[in-house]
Structure 1
Amino acid sequence: MTTKHTDKRATTGHGTYHHGDLRRAVLTAALDVIAAEGPGALSLRDLARRAGVSHAAPAHHFKDRTGLLTAVAAEGYELLAGALAGVPELRERGVRYVRFAVEHPAHFQVMFQPELLRADDPDLRAAKERASAELRAGVAGLDAVPDAREAGIAAWSLAHGFAALLLTRNVTDALGGRDPEEYFRSLTGLLFTQRG
């Protein structure tokens, strides 16, 4: 008696496959490509091949490459908002921001390149607003800050700049093997004093 191997994908009459969660499969494949080669290397045709579906299938979910990158960015902003939520101290929000970038480098690469995205996409706009609200909440409780907006931009610039330098390996030597999160905490200590 022989047993058949069952694949999670079912064949259709045209030799292609029907995928159980094509949207997720294409997003995951896209994140792998972006992490390895950057967003410029993305091709819906290649992603369809990787997912084992017809070359036209990803367009049903994303329309085009810009739609796919917009979905990646929206997911990234949602993940960032979740990473920052519930962290009261500004310094620790910065640490969470850096951790997000390290854990989700492909999202991070795409999120801050507006020329790659469909700016009017409602999912992207909503996700960006949630992440922005979490970033603003970090400076809302600072007493001795004359302009909370400027303080927020300063804090974001420090966390974002450090994360970008870390991902591009421009601070590897400076870290000297230290944990990046601890290094970031010491950087903030050099520039800001906590008032309690």
Structure 2
Amino acid sequence: MDEPETTGLKARLVDVGVDLVAAEGAQALTLREIARRAGVSHGAPRRYFPTHLELLSAIARRGFEDLGARVAGAAGDERSDPRARIAALARVHLDFALSRRGMYELMFRHDLLESGRLGLRETSLPLFAVLVDLVARVRPEADARIVAGALWANLHGIAQLWGWGSLGLATGTDDHAPLLDAALDAHLGPVQR
């Protein structure tokens, strides 16, 4: 098989996985189902992805690329207010988590992150670094990595609990925006008026 065909099939397998996770969730991402939907034998993915984990990592990388592009778009002008930029990034993060739940779940699976195959340094850590930089501008007296980590964990928690429906039930609200505002105030301090 020549190089363009190899690259084409490899990309098609990832494309099929991206579509499958969007339609049916991360649990649907089996090698057999991806191969079936790509129109190839069930053994074909192994030529490009020796393990299931490597194929899942390639699919998750696409999610990180999408989220990264959204974050870059929301980051705004370098001269704009850092707190407003953090709020915009947090909204983008929650919107992504809630609108692409299967992909979000896949992207942050511990086994993928821990395996090293996902390329954590090239995927999620640059997104986290943007948040750390902005937090350092808002809270120069604090350890920005710790504050950003706590905020990031809070965002993940809001996304997960909101997606399950339990956070809306517990708070009696049908809008997660006030929860996001409360998380930002808790980690960054109240907005200065």
TM-score, normalized by length of structure 1?
Answer: 0.73
Task: Flag the structure with larger Rg.
Answer: 1
- Do the aligned partners of residues 145 and 84 (structure 1) sit closer, same or farther apart at CA in structure 2, a change above 3 Å counting? farther
Cα distance in structure 2, aligned partners of 1:145 and 1:95: 25
Residues of 1 paired with 2:92 and 2:27: CA distance? 27
Of 89, 92, 101, the residue aligned with 1:96 is 92
Letter in 2 for 1:103: S
For residues 124 and 147 of structure 1, do their structure 2 counterparts lie closer, same or farther at Cα, with a shift above 3 Å needed?
closer
Matching residue within 149, 160, 163 for 2:159: 163
List alignment gaps of at least 5 residues for structure 2.
Answer: 77-81
Choose the corresponding residue for 1:47, options 17, 34, 58: 34
State, as a whole percentage, how many aligned pairs show the same letter.
29
The 3 A distance-change label for structure 1 pair 106 and 139 is same
Indicate yes or no: 2:65 matched with 1:69.
Answer: no
Asked whether 1:107 is paired with 2:103, we answer: yes
- CA deviation profile, 1:161-196 (whole Å, cap 9, x unmatched): 111112222224346433x3x334433366331247
Q: Name stretches of at least 5 consecutive residues in structure 1 with no aligned partner.
A: 1-17
1:138-163 deviation line (CA, Å, top 9, x unaligned): 31211454221221112112211111
Question: Match for residue 186 of structure 1?
Answer: 181
2:148 corresponding residue in structure 1: 152
Take 2:47 and 2:95, find their aligned partners in 1: how far apart are those partners? 33
Change (3 A) 1:83 1:140: farther
C-alpha contact (below 8 Å) 2:25/2:101 kept by paired residues: no
The match for 1:127 is: 123
The farther-off stretch of 32-41 and 67-76 is 32-41
Is 1:93–1:138's contact at 8 Å kept on the other side of the alignment?
no
TM-score (norm 2): 0.74
Give deviations 1:81-109, integer Å, cap 9, x for gaps. Answer: 22222244222221111012123222210
Q: Choose 105-114 or 31-40, whichever is displaced more.
A: 31-40
Distance 1:186 1:136, change over 3 A: closer
Give 3-state SS (helix, strand or coil) of 1:91's partner: helix
Are 1:140 and 1:148, in contact at CA under 8 Å, matched by a contact in 2?
yes
**Amino acid in the other structure paired with 1:135:** L
Show CA shifts across 1:30-52 (max 9, x none).
34544565534432122111111
